[in-house]
Structures are given as structure tokens and as C-alpha cells.
Amino acid sequence: MATIAWIGLGNMGGPMSGNLAAAGHEVRGVDVVPAARAAAAERGVLVVDSIADAVAGADAVFTSLPRSEHVRQVLEGPDGVWANAPRSALLLDTSTVDVATSRYCHEASVDHGFRFVDAPVSGGIAGAAAGTLTFMLGGEEADVREATALVEPMAGHVFAVGGPTMGIAAKLANNLMLFVSLVGLSEGSQLAAELGLDAETFWKVASVSSGDSWPLRMWYPVPGVVPTSPANRNFDASFTTLLAEKDLSFALAAGEEAGLHLPGARLALDQFEQLIDEGYGGKDCSLIVKYASADGTVEGFDASV
């Protein structure tokens, strides 16, 4: 069993680190949010006060953080990972960051004498809790093999997708597809309702037909159809609009640098930005369904709550 440091014990990092602890690893975690610290402790993580305490003697160091700048911050400086972890530790970042940050993490980690694997995940909060996430690993071949063994207690699928930054490339392309699909789901669900179709009946048809998609199966934006839908909970977030906007903006930036034309992704990003402007950044990204409705209201959402 390994000694593992985990930095970032939020909605994803908390249950992920807990699954490693349940598998028998010694997991030392750190987070600035008291509630996240308490929840991780209940999952068997030894919560410590600093990055230095977490990484001391660690075999591996995982980061699971909201934004690119947070990943850079925990690696850099006298209190960071590079200054305090043993050089033998494998560094793995499960965050969704921009390609430039991932490249920086790889190159600067090597400059500091470390090995680094970009290890973003797909599957959301439910997958993190269930240990069924999809991992996309990018890095040197030997490092990716080591990372594969480490992430197995958290994973349903593990893919070695190539060299440095290829993990985050796979994640950004995947999430672009997710969010463009979500726009189609939003429009199709509203059309079905306006034409008089029963929501559950139509969902059953679409789920075995050409309209099937992951967001249809997990986030159908009508209450009472699928148990995992945020529509059952006034669109409280399983994947916040703020995070969706971040991920999609990273994907579009990468596409623009490559000279691609991505109008579907641009439309989805515009809708996420509109939700944020209306004060709904903390709500689930599937609330974009309201832009497909006739009057901006949708079943299952009460803006006053």
C-alpha cells in the first residue's frame, strides 16, 4: 500500500481520496474548507494542516482543484509540493485545467526533479463517490503505468491516451462533446413537451434511439424521469455552470489555437455565460434548458428558492 497526499478535498477530491483510503492506502489530505476537511475525515482520510504535512514521505501526490491557477499555486513556492515532496513521488493532477497549465506542470515538475501525469477524470460527483470514474492519463509511459495502478480504486475505466498533456486534451474534447449534446437535449426535451409527449415515455424512446446521449441518461431536464437529474432538486448542481463555463472556455481556446471552427461549442458557452450573468453560476449547467423553453421557465425550477 502507498502513502498518498491529496490536495483538494471538494466534491470530487473528497470521495476520490476516500476510495483510496478504503482500498488500504494511507491518504493524507489538505483543504482550506472546513466542511470538506470534515467530510474527508469521515471517509478515512487523515486530514492535515498544510501541503508540507500532506506530502512528507509521500509515494504519490494528487491534486484536485477548481481552476488552473490553484494547481499552479499548490505546486509552486516555499509551501508548495515542489519544495516539500520527496523527489521520488509521482505527481498526478486530476483537475480540469487549460492545456498551457498542463504543459507547464509537466515541464516545471521535470525541472524540479519530479515525474508528472495529467490525470483528469469524467463521471461527475456520482462517479467519484461510486469509484467508477473514467481516467485519461497523459505522460511518460512508465509514469502512466505507475499512475494506472494508483487510480484503479477510483476508476471504472483507465485510458493511457499518450504523452504529456494528452490526458487534458482528451478531457477537454470530451467535455466539449458533452456540452454541445446538452444543448441538443435541452431543445429536444422542450420540443417533446410542447408537442404533448409524456416526458418519461419520450425519454424511454430517445434512450434507445439516435437521440441517446450521456446527458439524456443522467441529466434529463424534467423532474421525475431519471433519479440523477438536477431537475429533481431545483437544478442544484451536480456540475455547476461555473465549472462548465470554465471547461468549455478551455476547450474553445484550444480549438481556436488550432484554427478550428466550433460553432456548437460557442453556442453552449454563450448560454453558460448568460446563466452566470443571471446569477445562476452555482446552479447545474443543465439549467440552460430554460433558454429552449417558450417563456424562459421550466418545470422543476423555482428561481425564488
pLDDT tens for each residue of 11-31: 999 999 999 999 999 999 999
Q: Do 106 and 15 belong to one domain?
A: yes
Q: Do 159 and 47 belong to one domain?
A: yes
Domain endpoint, select from 125, 141, 163: 163
Domains contained in the chain, number: 2
pLDDT at 126: 86
- CATH assignment of the domain containing 230: 1.10.1040.10
Q: Do 214 and 89 belong to one domain?
A: no
270 lies in some domain:
yes
Average pLDDT score over residue span 124-151: 96
Q: What is the pLDDT of residues 219-277, one digit of tens each?
A: 999 999 999 999 999 999 989 999 999 999 999 999 999 999 999 999 999 999 999 99
70 lies in some domain:
yes
Domain endpoint, select from 129, 163, 197: 163
Q: Do 7 and 23 belong to one domain?
A: yes
Average pLDDT score over residue span 194-216: 97
In the predicted model, is pLDDT for residue 290 greater than 90?
Answer: yes
Q: Do 9 and 152 belong to one domain?
A: yes
Beta carbons within 10 angstroms of residue 194's beta carbon: 11
| Burial of 208 from C-beta contacts in 10 A (0-12 / 13-18 / 19+) | exposed
In the predicted model, is pLDDT for residue 2 greater than 90?
Answer: yes
CA angle 174, 284, 205 (to 5 degrees): 70
99 lies in some domain:
yes
303 lies in some domain:
no
Q: Rounded to 5, what percent of the chain is helix, strand, coil?
A: 50, 15, 35
Q: Do 101 and 236 belong to one domain?
A: no
Q: Do 199 and 277 belong to one domain?
A: yes
Backbone φ and ψ for 85, nearest 5 degrees, come out as: -80, 150
Q: Do 30 and 111 belong to one domain?
A: yes
- Paired sense of beta strands 121-122 and 133-138, if any: antiparallel
41 lies in some domain:
yes
Q: Nearest to residue 244, comparing CAs of 189, 298, 286?
A: 286
Percent of all residues in the chain with a pLDDT value above 70, rounded to a whole number: 100
Are the CB atoms for 236 and 227 separated by under 8 Å? no
CA angle 54, 78, 27 (to 5 degrees): 10
- Note the pTM of the prediction, 2 decimals: 0.93
In the predicted model, is pLDDT for residue 37 greater than 90?
Answer: yes
Cell numbers given for 103 = 504543459
Q: What is the signed CA dihedral for 93, 99, 105, 111, rounded to 10 degrees?
A: 150
132 lies in some domain:
yes
pLDDT at 168: 98
Q: Do 50 and 70 belong to one domain?
A: yes
Name residue 118's amino acid: D
Cell 512508465, residue?
A: 142
In the predicted model, is pLDDT for residue 216 greater than 90?
Answer: yes
pLDDT at 172: 97
Q: Which of 171, 246, 283, 290 is catalytic?
A: 171
Average pLDDT score over the chain: 97
The parent domain of residue 97 ranges over 3-163
154 lies in some domain:
yes
Cell numbers given for 264 = 456548437
Q: Do 185 and 149 belong to one domain?
A: no
Domain endpoint, select from 107, 136, 163: 163
In the predicted model, is pLDDT for residue 203 greater than 90?
Answer: yes
H-run or E-run covering 286: none
- CATH assignment of the domain containing 98: 3.40.50.720
Q: Do 30 and 117 belong to one domain?
A: yes
pLDDT at 210: 98
In the predicted model, is pLDDT for residue 124 greater than 90?
Answer: no
Name residue 157's amino acid: H
pLDDT at 271: 98
Cell 431519471, residue?
A: 226
301 lies in some domain:
no
In the predicted model, is pLDDT for residue 165 greater than 90?
Answer: yes
Give the list of residues 6+ apart from residue 162 with CB closer than 8 angstroms, or none. 138, 169
pLDDT at 125: 87
SS3 labels along the chain? CCEEEEECCCCCHHHHHHHHHHCCCEEEEECCCHHHHHHHHHCCCEECCCHHHHHCCCCEEEECCCCHHHHHHHHCCCCCHHHHCCCCCEEEECCCCCHHHHHHHHHHHHHCCCEEEECCEECHHHHHHHCCEEEEEECCHHHHHHHHHHHHHHEEEEEEEECCCHHHHHHHHHHHHHHHHHHHHHHHHHHHHHCCCCHHHHHHHHHCCCCCCHHHHHHCCCCCCCCCCHHHHCCECCCEHHHHHHHHHHHHHHHHHCCCCCHHHHHHHHHHHHHHHCCCCCEEHHHHHHHCCCCCCCCCCCCCC
Cell numbers given for 55 = 506530502
In the predicted model, is pLDDT for residue 114 greater than 90?
Answer: yes
171 annotated active-site: yes
How far is the C-alpha of 98 from the C-alpha of 163, rounded, in Å?
A: 16
Q: Do 175 and 52 belong to one domain?
A: no
